[in-house]
Structure 1
């Protein structure tokens, strides 16, 4: 069963943006199942869609290690969805995932690399306030552009991705609202005309990020 909840926007599609500016959506095919290869890990099939593209996507198999399984309260979406999405988003950040029109299932390791045992929390890299501000602006733009608003800017998955609190994410969203780029109501933002007028900038950021990703994979193929 695939899962697409509505917690990030008013439509069926939830848009997640990478720090480089790529708008993504995720189809997660729950539940995790035990590996049939005999190895000690659990597998979740997923498809990462590069939005605003000509059907580019990346089918992946998320391989959850036994160590991480012990850390998780459960493998249900309520406990696993945010760290899975951010693990995949970080793989895109690291240019480890290639988007194609049709391709083979690529394994992605969901390991303890992103877990801080000292602080007992997931850590995907701390972003600066400037990066968070840009992420929020891009998220509201792309969610509105591709699926409609309003857009949840207090999404715990995004807070986890940039290692910030939901409260801090909302503080930054309020600063954008004070510049009349969006209208904020609780955790939800509606894009104003001034934000949508920055379409050329956001779409140029996406083109640059896609070009860098393609260049890296072309080099690896030789």
Structure 2
């Protein structure tokens, strides 16, 4: 491990990473949006992992997760990250609407809003990943209300990344993020409407077996075939389960069903598409273009021509 950072946080994270099967490749001092000190870590499954197969983790320098209310979720985050790093593109996701996107360049941890609003902000970028090296992307400003922050164990990457990423996917599904060649940051508000205090869980999208089955087909097509040269992808990702309002176990059962139908080749929790699934490529591409269309603003033609009484 290359490091210019030797702190209690480095030692504690090193232990948690080893338990998750990860190696810390580097640990460096950094600064956040407000120039407060941070600790920046690069982790991977092996010391010789390529850059695309590494996990970037940035924490507030004084953050101490070795507490009963924080340690379990940090451990879970790292273990899930280790499984995700086995995907051909660990930063890639698909939406229910059918958009394949990558989520990266997030500047953790959260920082306070500069506009005076009672919100915490994290910036990042989503890119369209349709296999054409598309220039389409969106710069994101995901905002978490102060009220919502009370639900979160800590306003740090391991405790917020999953629900932030799922809120972004949900906002794409709603057609409220536009992919452009360039542009300003677009908002992704994260409020208590995404959390059930009664059920004590996040709820983003109500889905049924049919929509979850289609989601896994889309995931196998885009993440394994288009982006990964048919390398297998983790099919029972708890991050997807939260987004779909289901469980990782249920996703695995659906994957088994798809395997029996001859659409997936399944090995443990990882799957790749069969030729039968790839025969539906036109359908998946049409769904992606339809999802892209709903992200584009529409105009009333009479207003465009100046015929308005506003």
TM-score (norm 1): 0.90
**1:42 corresponds to:** 120
CA distance in 2, matches of 1:9, 1:140: 14
Q: Of 239, 256, 268, which residue of structure 2 is paired with 1:174?
A: 256
Deviates more, 1:99-108 or 1:141-150: 141-150
**1:10 corresponds to:** 87
Q: Of 136, 139, 147, which residue of structure 1 is paired with 2:228?
A: 147
Q: Does 1:89 align with 2:182?
A: no
2:177 alignment partner, SS class = coil
* Residues 235 and 252, structure 2, Cα contact 8 Å, conserved in 1: yes
CA distance in 2, matches of 1:102, 1:22: 19
**2:7 corresponds to:** none
Deviates more, 1:192-201 or 1:5-14: 5-14
* Residues 153 and 187, structure 1, Cα contact 8 Å, conserved in 2: yes
1:81 alignment partner, SS class = helix
**1:30 corresponds to:** 108
RMSD: 2.1
Q: Does 1:80 align with 2:160?
A: yes
Quote the offset at 1:196 in angstroms.
Answer: 2.0
* Residues 8 and 155, structure 1, Cα contact 8 Å, conserved in 2: no
1:45 alignment partner, SS class = strand
**1:20 corresponds to:** 97
Alignment of 1:49-128 (within 5 A): 49-52=127-130, 54-128=134-208
CA distance in 2, matches of 1:192, 1:29: 38
CA distance in 2, matches of 1:180, 1:80: 37
Q: Does 1:132 align with 2:209?
A: no
1:26 alignment partner, SS class = strand
Quote the offset at 1:192 in angstroms.
Answer: 1.9
CA distance in 2, matches of 1:29, 1:140: 29
**2:30 corresponds to:** none
CA distance in 2, matches of 1:206, 1:175: 24
Bigger share in helix: 1
**1:199 corresponds to:** 281
2:295 alignment partner, SS class = helix
Greater RCO, CA 8 A, separation 6+: 1
Change (3 A) 1:19 1:10: closer
Quote the offset at 1:8 in angstroms.
Answer: 6.5
TM-score (norm 2): 0.66
Quote the offset at 1:194 in angstroms.
Answer: 1.9
* Residues 41 and 63, structure 1, Cα contact 8 Å, conserved in 2: yes
CA distance in 1, matches of 2:207, 2:256: 18
Change (3 A) 1:87 1:121: same
Q: What is the aligned residue count?
A: 220
State which structure, 1 or 2, has the greater radius of gyration over its C-alpha atoms: 2
CA distance in 2, matches of 1:70, 1:211: 36
Q: Of 271, 274, 285, which residue of structure 2 is paired with 1:189?
A: 271
**1:161 corresponds to:** 243
* Residues 87 and 110, structure 1, Cα contact 8 Å, conserved in 2: yes
